[in-house]
């Protein structure tokens, strides 16, 4: 299957700092990428849909000024958590869309905000 | 209404036996896709199997098969000959809108434990 990488895999930061998470499709071009967050023992919650070359579409309740998404190329999307707070601590997962609409997921980034 | 319903929060199966993980879905679209993902403790979501709404035959991928019953709107995952490495969370998902839609819904997941 297609491979999606995420970097970093784990990050710990102080409250008030910004954190950038990169999502790359390594062996396919992903016109559309998705960003999710997942709390322990819960399902994935879609945050936003990122389309290459255009603005991201955010789900209801997700602050677009806090979670900045950039999809500058067909293989790279970035999520920046601005002015992170402890409640932003979570597992963030990105995915790239495959040919039949399946999503290939990155390994996830565990963010801990102190 | 929930788009994807997984009613089994936790399941246990003996090693080498088969297990069925339930999934029902709700959509009014004629064209949709159904997916199963596995999430081990490492956190990575692993794509297992896909079934299109127009596919007449049940999808199979190795030890995984999808029991697709369109009239009942169910898409159960069957894992044959369970292995210890199958212990993980399993998520059923649906994509609405055919090839161009991007509405993707996940169920709440089923935690599968394979007992040696």
pLDDT at B99: 46
Cα–Cα distance measured from residue A57 to residue A77, given in angstroms and rounded to the nearest whole number: 13
What are the φ/ψ torsions at residue B68 (nearest 5 degrees)? -95, 115
Give per-residue pLDDT as tens, B32-74. 899 999 999 989 999 999 999 998 899 999 999 999 999 999 9
* CB-CB neighbors (< 8 A) of B104 in chain A: 34, 46, 101, 103
Q: Given its phi and psi angles, is residue B25 left (phi above 0), alpha (psi -120 to 50 degrees) or beta? A: beta
User: CB–CB of A104 and B50 under 8 A?
Assistant: no
Cα–Cα distance measured from residue B63 to residue B48, given in angstroms and rounded to the nearest whole number: 10
Q: Report residue B64 as tokens.
A: 């995984």
Cα–Cα distance measured from residue A81 to residue B28, given in angstroms and rounded to the nearest whole number: 36
Cis peptide before A8 (omega within 30 of 0): yes
Helix, coil or strand: residue A88 = helix
CA trace torsion A66, A67, A68, A70 (10° rounding): 180
B96 touches chain A (CB under 8 A): no
Q: Report residue A89 as tokens.
A: 């601590």
- Interface probe for A, chosen from B45, B53, B66, B107 (most Cβ of A below 10 Å), is B45
Cα–Cα distance measured from residue B65 to residue B59, given in angstroms and rounded to the nearest whole number: 6
B116 touches chain A (CB under 8 A): no
User: CB–CB of A1 and B108 under 8 A?
Assistant: no
Question: CA-CA distances (angstroms) from residue B41 to A54, B46, B90?
Answer: 34, 12, 11
- Interface probe for B, chosen from A56, A58, A101 (most Cβ of B below 10 Å), is A101
For chain B, how far is it from start to end, CA to CA, in angstroms? 38
Minimal Cβ distance to B95: which of A101, A104, A106? A101
Minimal Cβ distance to B44: which of A49, A100, A107? A107
Cα–Cα distance measured from residue A100 to residue B34, given in angstroms and rounded to the nearest whole number: 10
The per-residue pLDDT string of chain A (114 residues; one tens digit each, 9 = 90 and over) reads 688 999 999 999 999 999 999 999 998 888 889 999 998 888 899 999 988 888 899 988 999 999 999 988 889 999 999 999 999 999 999 999 877 777 899 999 999 999
């Amino acid at each position: 299957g297609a491979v999606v990488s995420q970097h970093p895999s784990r990050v710990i930061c102080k409250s008030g700092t910004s954190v950038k998470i990169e999502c790359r499709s390594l062996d396919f071009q992903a016109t559309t990428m998705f960003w999710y967050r997942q709390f322990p023992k819960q399902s994935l919650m879609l945050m936003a849909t990122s389309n290459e070359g255009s603005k991201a579409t955010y789900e209801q309740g997700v602050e677009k000024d806090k979670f900045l998404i950039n999809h500058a190329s067909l293989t790279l999307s970035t999520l920046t958590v601005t002015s992170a707070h402890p409640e932003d601590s979570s597992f963030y997962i990105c995915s790239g869309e495959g040919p039949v609409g399946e999503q290939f997921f990155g390994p996830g980034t565990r963010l801990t905000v102190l | 209404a929930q788009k994807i319903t997984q009613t089994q929060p936790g399941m246990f199966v003996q090693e080498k036996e088969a297990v069925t993980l339930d999934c029902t879905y709700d959509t009014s679209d004629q064209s949709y896709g159904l997916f199963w993902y596995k999430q081990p403790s490492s956190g990575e979501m692993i794509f297992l199997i896909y079934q299109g709404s127009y596919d007449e035959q049940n999808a199979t991928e190795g030890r995984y098969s999808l029991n697709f019953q369109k009239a009942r709107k169910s898409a159960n995952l069957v894992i044959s000959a369970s292995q210890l490495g199958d212990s993980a969370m399993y998520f059923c998902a649906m994509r609405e809108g055919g090839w161009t839609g991007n509405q993707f819904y996940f169920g709440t997941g089923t935690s599968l434990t394979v007992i040696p």
